[in-house]
Structure 1
Amino acid sequence: MSPRSTLLFLLTVLSALALLGALWPAAGVHFAGIQWSLSGPKELLWPKSEERVDISAIVSLPTDTTLVDTTATAAIVAADSARTISFVLDSSALPPLEERIRLHYPNDDRTVLQPLFAALRQAAKRSAPIRVLHFGDSQIEGDRITSYLRHKFQARFGGGGPGLVPIDDIVPSFSIERSLTGEWDRHTILGKRRKDLLHGRYGVLTNYARFTPALPDSVALDGIDHEAGIRISPLARAYRSVGNYDRCRIFLGHHRNGVHWELAQEGTTLHSADLEPSDALQIGEVGGLQPGVPVDITFRADDSPEVYGISLEASGGVCVDNIGMRGSAAYEFAALDATLLRGMFAALDPRLVILQYGGNAMPDISSGEQASRYGSFFGTVVQRFKRWLPNAAIIVIGPSDMSIKEGELFITRPFLEEVNTALKQNCLANGAVYWDLFTAMGGRNSMVSWVEAEPPLAATDYTHFSPQGARKVGELFWSAFINDFATTSKEQP
């Protein structure tokens, strides 16, 4: 081949690649399980310089890593449960972050949280805990972020225990270990559901479990007693207050025949009860538990009740529940059975609801109009919780930064900022407090800095936080919350 022919061939190939690169979607093409990306001529000739968001103030922010001592005696743990740590506001601790991490109030009215703050000031004197429900998507599943907030609330205001936990979950918990016996079957509001189980009775945790098959009332039971159980134990890696429980509550119901259940610690039965057949919520309660000691609960019946959750908690202080809903964008709340929810809410009496959603809406949003519609929808979610819980404060945590690959660089997902703005506007308009996680963590393209931090503060999916990152998020939120609490306390002695 002559030099001229060779040059012509190379120019033809380069021109074809340049044309293909110019037409190739910036986000790439997903095929055969692989994301195929191709740089265009502009990226090759004038590559973008990768700018890093400075998160040094976040990296240097100290977080608590005090863990539970599983060898501690019950007396030591019980004494620790009764102790609260005095809080001293250090106004110089977060000057670079002070504005970014602040809570946003409806009409800038900080009195919205004053009833909650007043209750927290009396938390240690109460005979029942002040309840905090933390709902969210996969960012909080497994007790991530929630576990840190629980630790901070309970260290400051007293209380203990992991709060509400389901019989089973799709991921291990950071705070407790479950050991199951019997044929437990988990049912959830999320994902595909059985056509004969569309009743909506999933409770506050949005899932329940049973140990016999769910059968229509028209199908006869086998008449054989089935037995199942669960052991709940604080994990060694958990924060100390997780083991500081002294009572257990069980939420269950909708069983066609009687149910026998027992609760034991260290082989000693502390409580046993027989439940009559019921088509409604029932609540069992056992006090006098040994703090830090595993709790064993067994059930026996020929028709399993729907078990909506087990709560290990202290008699006072604060109790914080983790309600992670993988894949959720908060659409599922409309499908939950309102009667069951109201029954559980009445028993739990939460004073604060934290809603952390938005990330799972992003794949379906491709325009500013769709972002606005999602924000409007979420305003109705806030309204729904206000109807369910008129005495509870509501704080919405917006989505974090999330990255996609464009060429050789990772950039913030398209329309994420519009979604964040729409959520903030609609939540504030409906009386909720808003915490802007996107801005708090550094804003646009900050996720890259979190992934590349040492140690990494986020996973290489450029979406989820690492355990260290989850603690940082918890510390940022807590700093904003407790600073406002301290300011209000000075104004309202």
Structure 2
Amino acid sequence: MKNKLHYTFFLAFLVTFGLIVLHYLPEIKFGGKSLRKVDLLSDIRSEVSDSDTISVDTLPPLPVVKPAFVDSCKAGIECIEDYSDSTSHGMSHFYQSLASVKELKRPVRIAYFGDSFIEGDILTADLRNMLQKEFGGSGVGYVPVTSKFPGFRPTVRHSFAGWTSHNVTDTIGFIRNRQDISNNYFNASQGAYISLEGTGKYASNLESCTSSSLYYLTSDSLHVTAQLNGAAGQDFRLKGDSTLQCVTVKGNIKSVKWNIRNASSDAIFYAATMDSDHGIILDNFSTRGSSGQQLSGIPGSILRKYNRLRKYDLIVIQYGLNVVFEGGIDYTYYKDGMKSVISHLKNCFPETSILIVSIGDRETKDENGNLRTMPAVKGLIRSQRMLAAETGVAFWNMFNAMGGDGSMSEMVNAKPAMANYDYTHINFRGGKHIASLLFDALMYGKEQYEKRKAYEAE
């Protein structure tokens, strides 16, 4: 038989040659669709990258992902921790107010609440002075009608007569729904007066002011006069109202004396002020022996009226000396109690920034008689930070800013001393030191806020 095996190889050659020729044929369309190109070597041919076959200019641009702004904390500063939530009670409102202080038609106001640590304007006097030097403003702010220690406060000359005083710390006779923002109220007898005089003893921006107001609550008519700089009194005959009111005088005020000429027996008086019409006003609200929980007892109607008559941009809450105790570790009960205080303030001041300042260092002696930081201090600070986080406000760790463990001893032993020998309270020199630390934290926080706003606007 004749061998025909070579025909198989010849047929394979023809098929291969035909497929190669088909590869070079022009594009063929059928029914509007292009037929797939014959490519005998497609299984072994290397992949052709898109960049070799498609023009880069024809591709859509990749989306630019902008990284989030990252806040930093500069070395040497104990930064403010902001836990603000959707209710915006962190520091943003205050920083924005500082940034626009020259455009505002009112001063930027701070309400600084605390215990005996800030009594007599300790710490707050220097913080006020630093802020007023930076942003303008003058005057000592809100001064309750009477004081148990009027000569202790070096930032204003304060005199008064003819008053019956009521304070939240009174054991009997205090009616809670009559109190003002400073936890006080006062009744006037015939000839009662309150006198405030500026002084340059502590800071030059306290020598004079441009505005003074008298805050009161009465349902009946009221007759008062205001004497500016010892001149003849300006006469005010005022109508009664069911809510908080104030009467204001303006001028170049170095001293002001408010005289109560005629008032009903149920008239309640609260404070007189020395303010400016621009810049910074810082009001000191110190209550000796307080834990801060008394603030929830101030009537909401009173606080909401303050928000209209005397709008605050920042509320500072600094307590702890009367809460911490030897052996205390868990202060959850205190944190939970203060939640109602923060909620009350947020409801009454819906746009105001709120800053919780922790307790500072406090020292006691151990069993060997050696001074050391009371261990309970750190437990309280932990609860104060948790309070800020759980209520969506800001927090500043004063203990760390002071230097942490043993810092109160260092302040007591400084030359000259910056704290008292109870290893608990600072003096005015210590107040100036801590005020500078808080001022730096506020200014750095404002700087970071403005950088973040500019970055987000790009």
Same fold (TM over 0.5): yes
* 1:205 to 2:169 alignment: no
Q: Quick check: 1:146–1:320 contact (8 Å CA) kept in 2?
A: yes
What's the counterpart of residue 174 of structure 1?
A: 154
Q: CA deviation at 1:450?
A: 1.4
2:226 matched to which residue of 1? 263
Aligned mate of 1:399, from 345, 356, 359: 359
The equivalent of 1:338 in structure 2 is 300
Residue 478 of structure 1 is matched in structure 2 by: 439
Aligned-partner Cα distance in 2 for 1:423–1:108? 17
Task: Give the letter aligned to residue 376 of structure 1.
Answer: D
- Report the alpha carbon displacement of residue 148 of structure 1 after superposing the two structures with TM: 1.0
Note if contact 2:363-2:424 (Cα within 8 Å) is conserved in structure 1. Answer: yes
RMSD (Å), alpha carbons: 2.3
Question: Structure 1-normalised TM-score?
Answer: 0.72
- What residue number does 1:15 align with? none
2:422 paired with 1:461: yes
Whole-angstrom CA distance in 2 between matches of 1:96 and 1:461 = 31
- Deviation at 1:279? 4.2
Cα displacement (A) at 1:340: 1.8
Q: Which residue of 1 aligns with 2:214?
A: 250
TM-score, reference length from structure 2: 0.77
Counterpart residue identity of residue 298, structure 2 = L
In structure 1, what is the Cα distance between the partners aligned to 2:374 and 2:197?
40
Q: 2:165 aligns with which of 143, 167, 186?
A: 186
Alignment partner of 1:106 is 2:83: yes
Distance verdict in 2 for CA 1:334–1:266, change over 3 Å: closer
Tell me how far 1:107 sits from its aligned partner.
7.3
Displacement of 1:420: 0.5
Deviations 1:109-167 (A, max 9, x none): 99942332222122123221111100111111111111111111111111211111111
Q: Distance in 1 between matches of 2:119 and 2:209?
A: 22
User: Alpha-carbon deviation of 1:424?
Assistant: 0.5
Deviation at 1:405, TM superposition (A): 2.1
| Structure 1 stretches lacking a partner, 5+ long | 1-93, 213-225
User: Residue 378 of structure 1 corresponds to which residue in structure 2?
Assistant: 338
Aligned match of 1:358: 320
Q: How far apart are 1:416 and its partner, in Å? A: 1.4
Identity %: 22
1:136 to 114, 120, 130: 114
Note if 1:284 corresponds to 2:247: yes
Change (3 A) 1:491 1:270: farther
Contact 1:126-1:315 within 8 A present in 2 as well: no
Structure 1 CA distance, aligned partners of 2:437 and 2:214? 33
Please state whether the residue corresponding to 1:350 is helix, strand or coil.
coil
Aligned residue number for residue 200 of structure 2: 236
CA distance in 1, matches of 2:384, 2:396: 10
How far is 1:237 from its partner? 1.6
- Partners in 2 of 1:488 and 1:96 — Cα distance? 18
Counterpart CA distance in 2 for 1:491 and 1:337 is 38
Aligned match of 1:428:
389
Distance 1:241 1:273, change over 3 A: same
Three-state SS of the structure 1 residue aligned to 2:171 is: coil
Q: Give 2:35's aligned residue.
A: none
Equivalent pair of 1:372/1:418 in contact (CA under 8 Å): no
Evaluate the alpha carbon distance shift between residue 339 and residue 111 of structure 1 in structure 2; reply closer, same or farther with a 3 A threshold.
closer
Q: Which has the larger radius of gyration?
A: 2
1:307-348 superposed Cα distances (whole Å, 9 cap, x missing partner)? 111122111112111101111001211222222222122211
How many residues are treated as equivalent by the alignment? 377
Instruction: Provide the C-alpha distance between the structure 2 equivalents of 1:470 and 1:128, rounded to a whole number of angstroms.
Output: 28
Find out whether 1:125 has 2:107 as its counterpart.
Answer: no
Question: SS state of the match for residue 400, structure 2?
Answer: helix
Secondary structure of the 1:211 match is: strand
In structure 2, the CA distance between the partners of 1:180 and 1:112, relative to structure 1 (3 Å rule), is closer
Alpha-carbon offset, residue 425 of structure 1: 1.3
SS in 2 for 1:123: coil
Amino acid at match of 1:410: L
**Counterpart check, 1:299 vs 2:297:** no
Is the 8 Å Cα contact of residues 224 and 260 (structure 2) preserved in structure 1?
Answer: yes
Maintained 8 Å contact 1:189/1:200: no
SS at the partner of 1:447?
helix
Query: Tell me, which stretches of 5 or more residues in structure 2 are unaligned?
Result: 1-72
Offset at residue 278 of structure 1 (A) = 4.4
Tell me, yes or no, if the aligned pair for 2:314 and 2:354 is still in contact at 8 Å. Answer: yes
Distance 1:274 1:133, change over 3 A: same
Contact 1:253-1:280 at 8 Å conserved across structures: yes
